Structure 1
Amino acid sequence: MHDPLPSEGLTARWRCLNTDRPRTGPDSASLVSRILTARGLTDPQAIEHYLSVSLRDLPDAALLPAGEQAAGRLVEAVRNHERIVIYGDYDVDGITATATLYHAIKTADPDANVLPYVPHRLSEGYGLNVEAIAELATAHNADLIISVDCGITGFDAAQEAARHGCDLIITDHHNPPAAGEPLPPALAIVHPGLPDSAYPYPHLCGAGVAFKLAWLFALRWCGSERVSEPFRKFLTECLALTALGTIADVVPLTGENRILAYHGLRMMRHTRFTGLNALIHAAGLDDEARIDTVAVGFRLAPRLNACGRMGHARDAVHLLTQVTDLQEAARIAVELNRLNDDRRNTEQHILEQARAMAIEHGMTSDHNRIIVLAHEDWHRGVVGIVCSRLVDEFHRPTILLQKEDGIYSGSARSIPGYSIHAGLCAVDEHLDRYGGHDMAAGVAVKPEQFDSFVQAITAHANANLEPDALCAEVEIDCEAMIHELDLATVQSILDLGPFGQENPRPVIALRDLVLYSPPKRMGANGKHLSLTVRPAGTMTSAAGRSGSAAGPRLLRMVGWGWGHAAERLAQGSTLAAAAVTVSLNHWQGNTTVQGEIQDLALE
């Protein structure tokens, strides 16, 4: 028997998935094997399948509900030179989905009559709206409208399209209407998660659905089981757009999504899309040998999202669809940088205000298991990000609303174990409109209903969330010893990615560590922390730093946002355990192993 790991650290409860202690000897399991075991992968065939990440394992696109019908109608529209409108959404998923179908159509016919359209976040709001459909059908003479990343609850908009004699194809991935409620009367609804769907993977994002429809369209256009060389090249390069939407939309990076993201990330360094190349340059990623999920989530996606939040997403759509001039692409990408800077400043202001309001109103206590706030001065395009920040800080569902034109509207974010969409469904008598999925939603409330809505959703959250669910938890894959963290092993761990929702970076626990040198604060205002540690009971020198083939005896660990903990640590003090993820740090031609602190347990 051996002592268990600490049950909690400085910031969270700890739960270890694989409690086997690391052992030495010829029969000992490797660190990578222990991680795979923690994730339920023990069968050799299942492990081989997981590690192969092959495009051949993508489900047949023809299994998508109404996919063949939608592809056939799109082929007909292009061949007949009909006016086609792609109706997108203003987030990264909607923008990349729009670009995917646009380029698919232009691959078939460069002269195709196709118009990308994306609503304004503030003046039009999310999803298909009746006024826009009417204008597209009349002023723009649309014969066929295809929605991407929206439309599954757009019943009235679908009726409006039919009234004008305009065919409507809906492609979406958000939660469909509740059981018993009708679907929109569209020509075709392409949605992997419909109740009667035979599609084996319901977790595609909007860009993923658009990619599979583009694949079906290519097959129909080519009239064979194999696509032409131009379409093969397009579908391969288009994976970069699909990966961007998939990662940014925080859908599970499992199964098909993991395959799409894996291959799409590899295509981002070799894309022919002028706008995407300009975005990569503006984000300072030119020198990155490989773009990963962190670069997408923290550098590329925020710039595209900022366009929809602080301006009009049509500029981002234009960048990824119609722009071919390098100077124009660079100009738009620089503007996205500026908008992203504005977004960050606005976000920080709202976050500080919302945090103070939540604490003042008692919404961070166990008695109120959801945060619901509204303020007239908040920027509606930014409240969704602030929701996510408050969820991270207080680990509870959060709804933030802004009052404009006589209505409160905004965003909701949630935590595992509580479907915010189900919560809104349960109290929809207090709502003007809403839509979304389990972890995120958009919502609008009339002012006279606001107080009753807060009471109702709070009661629902209190009834469906146990107090323990409000505590942050670090899920540890397994324990390890510092000497196991050699370059080859860490690279093998990184090869288990791409990492994201439901496939997080492996977290390993290192026991009994001694600070080799004084802790250092780094970054602006000393926000971050740098530690160098060694195993207790060993003596070593700087020559034992991480980066050797034999494995390190010293390990540098960084804690993003952990600068405040420096005062609690001192050279020579002992950590009971550290929960870390691992990465490779490339600096001045050297590559070393680095631990990234998730939590610390003190002696």
Structure 2
Amino acid sequence: MRWTIKPKPSEDKIKHLAQALNVEDFVAQLLVQRGIETFEEAKHFFRPSLEHLHDPYLMKDMDKAIERIKNAIENQERILVFGDYDVDGTTAVSLVSSYLKSFYPNVATYIPDRYDEGYGVSFKGIDFADDNGFSLIIALDCGIKSIDHVAYAKERNIDFIICDHHRPGETLPEAVAILDPKRTDCNYPYDELCGCGIGFKLIQALGMNREQTIEDLAPYLDLVATAIAADIVPMTGENRVLAYFGLQVINNNPRPGIKALIHQVKKQTLDITDVVFIVAPRINAAGRIKHGNHAVELLSEFDFEQAQQFASEIEKYNADRKDLDKHITREAFEQIEQNQEQERFTTVVFQENWHKGVIGIVASRLIETYYRPTLVFTKSGDKYAASARSVKGFDVYNALEACSEHLEQFGGHMYAAGMTLKAENYAVFKEAFEKQVQKTIHPDQRIPEIEIDAEINFSDITPKLTRILKQFEPFGPMNMTPVFLTKNVIDTGYAKKLGAADEHLKLFVKQSRSPGAEGIAAIGFGLGNKIDLTTNQKPFQIAYCIDENEWNGQISTQLRLKSIR
């Protein structure tokens, strides 16, 4: 692990903000590191408001999209809401379809089959629309590269509105409207929305046309917050506002489908991390194991008893997904060890019968061990399909683009992508990818990093600080949970390992320079092997987050250890 302390902003900026907000200098430093430098910016950060959301009509083509939907409704056309099978896609389809159905009945949904059709807009989906009299398709979380598909639909007098957040290619599809803030000709003020976020901007614009306020649309934000959490988009700007109010909906009045999922795990109050690890994997499991339609049915259901039935089915899919994940990960480890590929800059593994629905999860697991850009391939029809995952700071999408001559298709983001290729191109692509990564990856990107926001003493950890840090939530990329460094730490003699395999570490720590001070409880998940560093009153350093621990109704401060040295 590399411990990297973030660059300290200028003292002037820190002092100015600390005085304006009446907070300690290191709290002001945390804010400036997040791009918050004025009282007004801090007010927006600590007091998010739905009024801070941008006018949806600032997005290129929004006027065209709304006009086409209005015409469809006036002419009693059938509208097909089409989306990808992951959390972002299924929440977006549920959001837009349930909003449209609240005032217009001729609306249906379509999620492509992960195995039969693959990612994104499919010819089979367009044929379905053609056979069933749909003349408008609204594509969510996909479509930005579907040039041939949109042309195919046009020949059948079917129009497309594309709502996507992926990077466009050089040529755009000939759709009626393309809503994507990553378009080079789009001047929308925020370009990090997820697919469901773009769907929300669409219904926000429709709502404005129907004289609805933003508060009228707030009940849909449980879906948007779930997608933001699952798609790991930056927790800044509009995303943070949408996630903040979406979490309130999830905790106070969620739609029956999300309520049923939470009911399965019996958790009282969810934060964004719970949404990532509890809600999102279950929604994803439907598309991974069975079909994304099951997720849309769950999220669009308004009868709680029926939603509970859907949720219990999805719980089974999630259990199956976990079993497959463990089995395939074990096989992938064996393959890597047999080939002794530790000296490589990439991990590329293939087995033709691996389940396509979990190869992305397996790629993430492999990175946890080998920490290098990773591709996990399986057979899909007569082609090979892969999920790509990357390490911090390395753009795997760009690396794939550099090797695209060997690929049939690819798409995605900096840290996650998908692709297909012909079986005969696998070996040559694997070497081209290895060479491209070797040529472009920085040596530091090959070593896992802990980014530390500030060095503090335990005396700085006060109830006021804990209260302020809670107001930094919701956390996510670009607004991660603050990580602190404290030196000269000693354990007070209570160090012990926890867990079935002694994999976790429990400490009670204080700073050696403050002999009279009370100790603080600390927990280190996965750090059981570090216990020797903490014994015999030897001082050590810790990198940690400040948490609250609730036990028997009592709330106390606890340190969540990231690393020890």
Structures share a fold, TM > 0.5? yes
Aligned residues: 557
1:124 aligns with 2:117: yes
**1:165-180 alignment to 2 at 5 Å?**
165-177=157-169, 179=170
8 Å Cα contact 2:350-2:378 kept in structure 1: yes
**1:383-532 alignment to 2 at 5 Å?**
383-532=359-508
Q: What TM-score results when the alignment is normalised by the length of structure 1?
A: 0.88
1:442-496 deviation line (CA, Å, top 9, x unaligned): 1111110001101111111111012221011111100111122223311211211
Please point out which of 262, 266, 269 is paired with 1:280: 262
**1:114-153 alignment to 2 at 5 Å?**
114-138=107-131, 140-153=132-145
**Partner AA of 1:126 in structure 2:** Y
**Partner AA of 2:244 in structure 1:** Y
**1:356-371 alignment to 2 at 5 Å?**
356-365=334-343, 368-371=344-347
1:47-106 deviation line (CA, Å, top 9, x unaligned): 233223222222211011211211221122233332111001111111111111012112
Unaligned runs of 5+ in 2: none
Give the SS at the match of 1:120: coil
Give the SS at the match of 1:526: coil
Report the counterpart of residue 595 of structure 1 in structure 2. 559
1:26-54 deviation line (CA, Å, top 9, x unaligned): 99935422322443434333323322322
1:252 aligns with 2:242: no
1:362 shift after superposition: 4.5
Please point out which of 198, 201, 223 is paired with 2:187: 198
**1:366-385 alignment to 2 at 5 Å?**
368-385=344-361
1:393-450 deviation line (CA, Å, top 9, x unaligned): 3332111110232211021111233222211111111011111122111111111000
Give the SS at the match of 2:384: strand
1:576 shift after superposition: 2.5
1:297 shift after superposition: 0.6
1:506 shift after superposition: 0.3
Give the SS at the match of 2:357: coil
Give the SS at the match of 2:134: coil
8 Å Cα contact 1:384-1:411 kept in structure 2: yes
Please point out which of 549, 554, 561 is paired with 2:526: 561
Give distance in 1, aligned partners of 2:70 and 2:506.
57
Give the SS at the match of 1:108: coil
1:574 shift after superposition: 2.8
Moved more, 573-582 or 498-507: 573-582
Please point out which of 282, 298, 303 is paired with 2:282: 303
Give distance in 2, aligned partners of 1:527 and 1:108.
54
**Partner AA of 1:416 in structure 2:** K
Give distance in 2, aligned partners of 1:197 and 1:363.
44
The root-mean-square deviation of aligned C-alpha atoms, in Å, is: 2.2
8 Å Cα contact 2:59-2:187 kept in structure 1: yes
1:360 shift after superposition: 4.0
1:536-590 deviation line (CA, Å, top 9, x unaligned): 14445xxx7xxxxxxxx21111111222323x24544334310001111112111
**1:20-99 alignment to 2 at 5 Å?**
29-99=24-94
Q: What TM-score results when the alignment is normalised by the length of structure 2?
A: 0.94
**Partner AA of 1:573 in structure 2:** Q
- Structure 1 residues 565 and 81, CA gap change in structure 2 (3 angstroms): same
Give distance in 1, aligned partners of 2:411 and 2:402.
13
Give distance in 2, aligned partners of 1:39 and 1:525.
38
Give distance in 2, aligned partners of 1:455 and 1:503.
36
1:187-214 deviation line (CA, Å, top 9, x unaligned): 1111111010011111110010000001
Report the counterpart of residue 292 of structure 1 in structure 2. 271
1:246-296 deviation line (CA, Å, top 9, x unaligned): 1100011111111111111111123352112111212322x22xx211100
Give the SS at the match of 2:154: helix
1:313 aligns with 2:313: no
Give distance in 1, aligned partners of 2:187 and 2:33.
30
1:373 shift after superposition: 1.3
**Partner AA of 1:599 in structure 2:** S
Moved more, 498-507 or 523-532: 523-532
- Structure 1 residues 66 and 396, CA gap change in structure 2 (3 angstroms): same
8 Å Cα contact 2:527-2:563 kept in structure 1: no
Give distance in 2, aligned partners of 1:82 and 1:526.
62
**Partner AA of 1:211 in structure 2:** F
Give distance in 1, aligned partners of 2:391 and 2:44.
30
**Partner AA of 2:422 in structure 1:** K
Give distance in 2, aligned partners of 1:334 and 1:434.
34
- Structure 1 residues 34 and 575, CA gap change in structure 2 (3 angstroms): farther
Give distance in 1, aligned partners of 2:109 and 2:430.
38
Give distance in 2, aligned partners of 1:481 and 1:153.
52
**Partner AA of 1:283 in structure 2:** V
Report the counterpart of residue 350 of structure 1 in structure 2. 328
1:209 aligns with 2:198: yes
8 Å Cα contact 1:72-1:217 kept in structure 2: no
- Structure 1 residues 558 and 404, CA gap change in structure 2 (3 angstroms): same
**Partner AA of 1:203 in structure 2:** E
8 Å Cα contact 2:96-2:199 kept in structure 1: yes
Give distance in 1, aligned partners of 2:219 and 2:493.
48
Give distance in 2, aligned partners of 1:514 and 1:312.
52
8 Å Cα contact 1:420-1:440 kept in structure 2: yes
Give distance in 1, aligned partners of 2:493 and 2:103.
62
8 Å Cα contact 2:110-2:125 kept in structure 1: no
8 Å Cα contact 1:575-1:600 kept in structure 2: no
Report the counterpart of residue 6 of structure 1 in structure 2. none
Please point out which of 216, 222, 228 is paired with 1:240: 222
Give distance in 1, aligned partners of 2:236 and 2:369.
26
8 Å Cα contact 1:283-1:300 kept in structure 2: no
1:15 aligns with 2:5: yes
Give distance in 2, aligned partners of 1:184 and 1:239.
29
